[in-house]
Amino acid sequence: MRAAHGATPVPTESSTGAAISLHGIVKDFPLRRGKAVRALDRLDLEIARAEFVAVLGPSGCGKSTLLRLAAGLETPTEGVVLVEGRSPSELIAAHRLGVAFQEHALLPWATARNNVALPFRVAGRAVDRERVDALLELVGLAGFEDARPRQLSGGMRQRVAIARALALEPDVLLLDEPFGALDAVTRRRMNLELARIWMEQRITTLLVTHDVDEAVLLADRVVVMTGRPGRVRHVQQVEIPHPRGSEVTRDPEFHALVDLLTGLLDDAEPAAATT
C-alpha cells in the first residue's frame, strides 16, 4: 500500500472529462456601505466522474460556499460552475444532484421510508418502492422502514438523509459535513458506511469536512484550501487502495498523510476580509 505525498498544484482532469468543474471562481458577499467579504478568490477545481474528492480548510475559508455553488444554491460573482457540462440549475431541474447537509432535515412526521421516497414525489414521479427499500437496506436500516426520525439515533437519521440523496440515482453527490454533529464513535462508523456505499454506487462525490481522518479514509483526492478568501492551496492524491476498512486507520502511511494535511491546515493564513 502506498500513499503519495507530493503536492499537485492544480487538478489535472480536463474540463471536457470533469463531472464538476469550477473555473476562476470569485464569490463576494455584500456587507454594509458598499463593502463585501470575499469568500472565494480565483478558485479552480475539477472532479472527474466517479471520483471522491474531500475538501478541507480552516473555518471560514469558503469550503461550504464552494459546495453550495456546485449545488446551485449560490451563484458566483465571477467564474463558471459546470456539473456534468451543464449549469447546476439544469441538473437540479432534472433531479440529477443529490445533496446531504449536517442537518438531516428529515420530515419529523414521516417514516424513514416516506422520507427516502420524498424526492420521487417532489419530482412528480411514481415512488419506486423497491428502490426505496433497497436504499434503506444499503445504508443499514432494513427493519426501520416505518420508524420516524424521533425513534432513530443521530447516525440513523443521517443514514436516512444519505439514502434520500441517492433516491433518484443522481449523477453527483454533494455532502456538507454530513456527520459533523455526531459523536466520534458514531462518526467513524458512518465514515466506514459511506465508504462501503460509495464502493457500491461509484457516484461522483464532493465532501466538505473539517475532519482530516475522514477525508483521507474516504477520498481519492483531498483538496486543502487557504484561509479566507479561499483558494486551492494543495491537492493530495490518496493512493490507498479501495475498499478501505477500519484497518486502514491503523496503517503508518495513513497517519503520515493525516499529519501532512494537518500541518498544511495549521499553516493556513487568512487573507484580507473585504474588497
Q: What is the distance between the alpha carbons of residues 157 and 186, in angstroms, rounded to a whole number?
A: 12
Tell me: the pLDDT tens digits for 23-69?
A: 999 999 998 877 899 999 999 999 999 999 999 999 889 999 999 99
Per DSSP, the three-state class of 143 is coil
Q: Let me know if 126 is exposed, middle or buried by CB neighbors in 10 A (0-12, 13-18, 19+).
A: exposed
The bridge status of strand 97-101 relative to strand 172-176 is parallel
For residue 181, what pLDDT is reported? Answer: 78
Q: Phi and psi dihedrals of 76, rounded to 5?
A: -70, 150
CA distance 135 to 197: 10
Mean local confidence (pLDDT), 216-229: 95
20 pairs with which residues across the strands? 47, 83
| Rounded Cα–Cα distance for residues 20 and 221 (Å) | 14
> Of the segments 39-48, 195-204, 265-274, which one has the largest average pLDDT value?
39-48
Model's pTM, two decimal places? 0.86
Q: Which tens digit of pLDDT belongs to each residue from 141-154?
A: 999 999 999 999 98
Residue 170, C-beta contacts closer than 8 angstroms, at least 6 positions apart: 95, 96, 97, 98, 203
C-alpha cell at 61: 475559508
Cα gap 2→239, rounded to integer Å: 6
Pairwise CA distance, residues 219 & 43, whole Å = 20
Domains in the chain, CATH or no CATH each:
15-96+170-267 (3.40.50.300), 106-169 (no CATH)
Buried b (16+ CB within 10 A) or exposed e, 22-32: bbebbbbeeee
Average pLDDT over residues 208-234: 95
The mean pLDDT value for 186-206 works out to 90
Considering all CA atoms of the chain, what is the largest pairwise distance in Å, rounded to the nearest integer? Answer: 56
204-208 β-sheet, strand order = 97-101, 172-176, 204-208, 52-56, 221-225, 232-237
CA distance 124 to 133: 19
Is residue 263 within 8 A of residue 255, CB to CB? The reply is: no
pLDDT at 10 over 70: no
* pLDDT of 275: 41
Tens digits of residue pLDDT in 84-123: 999 999 998 898 999 988 777 899 999 999 999 999 999 9
